[in-house]
């Protein structure tokens, strides 16, 4: 396990306040979800999951078809589609458009995709001001941190942390009441919205048959981002495409329920193209950037491809016993929890992140809550096997291989097994085992006390 990963984990485990914050917040989201998917509230829940899975499968298995359909429909409504391979291409596009339109100020609504490519930093590096407008994201931007959780980005911050951040970032008097903190952010950001030249949003869905993007949110900042400035740029991963507008009847019922336990989020915006003839407001220019950034690497393998079905609801994080202990920042990239454990190694290359597929107990809670039925444990196992194969090729896990060979030999030789077992039990009794690699293993686990008699002994005494 890489040092940094281990260090983050230990720091999080040792921080009692943080432990409580993660546990409470994820617990609340978990309960909220359960309340709105139960049999008596939504009897068709399982059927909706099956349909959502089938629709995502159709979209991903024929991705080129739906992307082209999406593009031609966006263009039919006067919008533009730009394909980008990576963050550099996205930044280049936004920067050159900003230059052409003499734009200085950009407002942004929450987007995990733009977090992937550090868009704000890239734009600010070239002298543009790019302001996050989701309350949690705004707080984190002021604190120079990345999101802790897919739907609750500032989950790890208390109101006292937020007071410090706002006081420092905005030169405002210290206030620890969340309502006042939100009001302060609202008034600062409202001025930004009204002055902004460009609004950048993400997209929860790209609707192929309509050339539309769908944004799901609670605050109204995504609506302001896509309405107030004259230019709207939506940035989305290529996997966000779904075939038809009517398919939203399936996805919208699942997304808010799985994410926050709401029946629907406060605002669902279905946007296609710039404002039409006669419409009073809305942007004059509408661009959709379709980003690859490693996604096409996930396509060749039929099993792993399903990782791209994810609709970023965060339910797997809340359900995961590992995430609930080690938190979001222990994970090396923007995606945390079970979905992060399968997305990050695949985006970055398994050799880059070999520890992540093992950061799971394979309990299956993630697969159970996933609204689009991604079999996360199966993908984890598949990735683990790749890690093992590549390490074996480089001769890295010789000790482990040796240990398993020895274990295999013991299992085939009952007499040796019995003697070995008795030996190990007496060693454990005097705690001699607590050395070397075993010590590291035992640092987070308790070894059950060895029994006085082995099963074999008891069997003989019968």
- By CB under 8 A, is residue 5 in contact with another protein? no
Per CB under 8 A, the list member of 252, 356, 365, 387 interacting with another protein is 252
- By CB under 8 A, is residue 64 in contact with another protein? yes
- By CB under 8 A, is residue 45 in contact with another protein? no
Per CB under 8 A, the list member of 39, 100, 279, 446 interacting with another protein is 279
Nearer to another protein, 230 or 422 (CB): 230
- Give how far Cα 345 sits from Cα of 77, 205, 260, Å: 38, 24, 27
Nearer to another protein, 160 or 404 (CB): 160
Nearer to another protein, 289 or 366 (CB): 289
CA angle 213, 216, 220 (to 5 degrees): 110
- By CB under 8 A, is residue 274 in contact with another protein? yes
Question: Quick one: which segment of 9-17, 84-92, 360-368, 419-427 binds another protein (CB under 8 A)?
Answer: 84-92
Contact 140, 153 (CB under 8 A): yes
- Relative orientation angle of helices 178-195 and 135-143, to the nearest 10 degrees: 90
- By CB under 8 A, is residue 273 in contact with another protein? yes
Tokens of 287: 């661009």
Q: Residue 238 phi/psi, 5° resolution?
A: -65, -20
Considering only CA atoms, which of 132, 115, 121 is closest in space to residue 188? 132
Shortest gap between Cβ of 374 and another protein (angstroms)?
A: 18
- By CB under 8 A, is residue 7 in contact with another protein? no
- By CB under 8 A, is residue 25 in contact with another protein? yes
Dist CA 303 CA 344 (whole Å): 16
Per CB under 8 A, the list member of 33, 49, 56, 223 interacting with another protein is 223
Instruction: Provide the 3-class DSSP secondary structure of residue 48.
Output: helix
Nearer to another protein, 10 or 80 (CB): 80
Per CB under 8 A, the list member of 5, 45, 270, 333 interacting with another protein is 270
Length of the chain: 462
Dist CA 133 CA 220 (whole Å): 9
- By CB under 8 A, is residue 39 in contact with another protein? no
- By CB under 8 A, is residue 371 in contact with another protein? no
Per CB under 8 A, the list member of 10, 77, 388, 422 interacting with another protein is 77
Provide the sign of the torsion angle of the four alpha carbons 59, 63, 69, 74, taken in this order.
positive
Nearer to another protein, 281 or 446 (CB): 281
- By CB under 8 A, is residue 131 in contact with another protein? no
Per CB under 8 A, the list member of 221, 306, 346, 360 interacting with another protein is 221
Dist CA 213 CA 192 (whole Å): 23
Where is 106: in which H helix or E strand? strand 105-108
Shortest gap between Cβ of 142 and another protein (angstroms)?
A: 13
Stretch 394-453 residues interacting with another protein (CB under 8 A): none
Q: Cα 240 vs. chain centroid, distance in angstroms?
A: 14
Nearer to another protein, 275 or 396 (CB): 275
Nearer to another protein, 299 or 348 (CB): 299
Dist CA 336 CA 325 (whole Å): 12
Shortest gap between Cβ of 3 and another protein (angstroms)?
A: 32
Neighbours of 136 (CB within 10 A): 21
Site string for another protein, 324-353 (x = CB under 8 A): ------------------------------
Stretch 171-210 residues interacting with another protein (CB under 8 A): 178-179, 181-182, 185-186, 189-190, 194, 207, 209-210
- By CB under 8 A, is residue 262 in contact with another protein? yes
Site size toward another protein (CB under 8 A) is 92
- By CB under 8 A, is residue 247 in contact with another protein? yes
- By CB under 8 A, is residue 278 in contact with another protein? yes
Which residues share a beta bridge with 391?
none
Instruction: Provide the 3-class DSSP secondary structure of residue 105.
Output: strand
Where is 237: in which H helix or E strand? strand 231-237
Contact 344, 387 (CB under 8 A): no
Question: Quick one: which segment of 113-121, 239-247, 346-354, 373-381 binds another protein (CB under 8 A)?
Answer: 239-247
- By CB under 8 A, is residue 37 in contact with another protein? no
Q: Buried b vs exposed e over 321-343: b needs ≥16 C-beta within 10 Å?
A: ebbbebbbbbbbbbbbbbbbbbb
Considering only CA atoms, which of 249, 7, 213 is closest in space to residue 111? 213
Considering only CA atoms, which of 50, 37, 8 is closest in space to residue 336? 8
Residues 6+ apart with CB under 8 A from 410: 416, 417, 420
- By CB under 8 A, is residue 380 in contact with another protein? no
Q: Residue 307 phi/psi, 5° resolution?
A: -55, -25
Neighbours of 30 (CB within 10 A): 18
Shortest gap between Cβ of 206 and another protein (angstroms)?
A: 12
Stretch 286-305 residues interacting with another protein (CB under 8 A): 286, 290, 292, 296, 299-300
Shortest gap between Cβ of 154 and another protein (angstroms)?
A: 5
Shortest gap between Cβ of 90 and another protein (angstroms)?
A: 10
């Amino acid at each position: 396990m890489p040092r940094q990963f281990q260090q983050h984990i230990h720091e999080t485990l040792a921080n009692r306040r943080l432990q409580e914050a993660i546990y409470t917040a994820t617990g609340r989201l978990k309960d909220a979800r359960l309340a709105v998917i139960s049999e008596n509230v939504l009897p068709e829940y399982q059927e909706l999951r099956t349909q959502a899975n089938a629709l995502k499968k159709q979209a991903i298995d024929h991705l080129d078809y739906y992307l082209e359909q999406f593009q031609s429909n966006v263009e039919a409504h006067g919008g533009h589609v730009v394909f980008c391979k990576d963050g550099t291409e996205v930044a280049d596009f936004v920067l050159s458009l900003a230059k052409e339109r003499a734009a200085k100020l950009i407002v942004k609504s929450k987007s995990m995709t733009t977090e992937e490519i550090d868009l704000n930093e890239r734009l600010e590096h070239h002298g543009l001001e790019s302001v996050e407008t989701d309350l949690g994201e705004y707080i984190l931007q002021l604190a120079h941190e990345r999101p802790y959780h897919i739907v609750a980005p500032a989950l790890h911050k208390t109101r006292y942390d937020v007071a410090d951040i706002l006081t420092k970032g905005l030169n405002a008097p210290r206030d620890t009441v969340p309502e006042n903190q939100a009001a302060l952010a609202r008034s600062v950001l409202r001025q930004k919205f009204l002055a902004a030249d460009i609004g950048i949003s993400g997209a929860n869905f790209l609707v192929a048959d309509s050339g539309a993007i769908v944004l799901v949110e609670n605050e109204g900042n995504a609506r302001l981002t896509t309405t107030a400035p004259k230019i709207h740029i939506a940035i989305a991963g290529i996997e966000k495409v779904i075939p038809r507008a009517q398919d939203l009847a399936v996805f919208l019922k699942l997304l808010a329920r799985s994410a926050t336990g709401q029946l629907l989020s406060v605002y669902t915006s279905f946007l296609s193209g710039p404002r039409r003839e006669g419409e009073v407001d809305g942007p004059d220019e509408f661009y959709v950037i379709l980003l690859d950034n490693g996604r096409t690497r996930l396509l060749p393998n039929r099993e792993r491809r399903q990782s791209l079905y994810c609709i970023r609801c965060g339910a797997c994080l809340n359900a995961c016993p590992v995430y609930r202990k080690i938190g979001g920042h222990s994970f090396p990239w923007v995606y945390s929890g079970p979905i992060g454990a399968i997305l990050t190694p695949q985006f970055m290359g398994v050799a880059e992140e070999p520890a992540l597929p093992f950061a799971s107990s394979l309990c299956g809670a993630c697969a159970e809550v996933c609204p689009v039925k991604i079999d996360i444990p199966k993908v984890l196992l598949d990735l683990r096997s790749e890690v093992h194969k590549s390490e074996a090729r480089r001769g890295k896990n010789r000790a482990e291989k040796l240990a398993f060979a020895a274990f295999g030999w013991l299992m085939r030789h009952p007499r040796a097994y019995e003697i070995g077992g008795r030996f190990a039990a007496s060693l454990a009794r005097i705690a001699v085992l607590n050395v070397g690699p075993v010590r590291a293993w035992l640092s987070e686990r308790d070894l059950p006390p060895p029994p006085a008699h082995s099963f074999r002994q008891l069997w003989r005494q019968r």
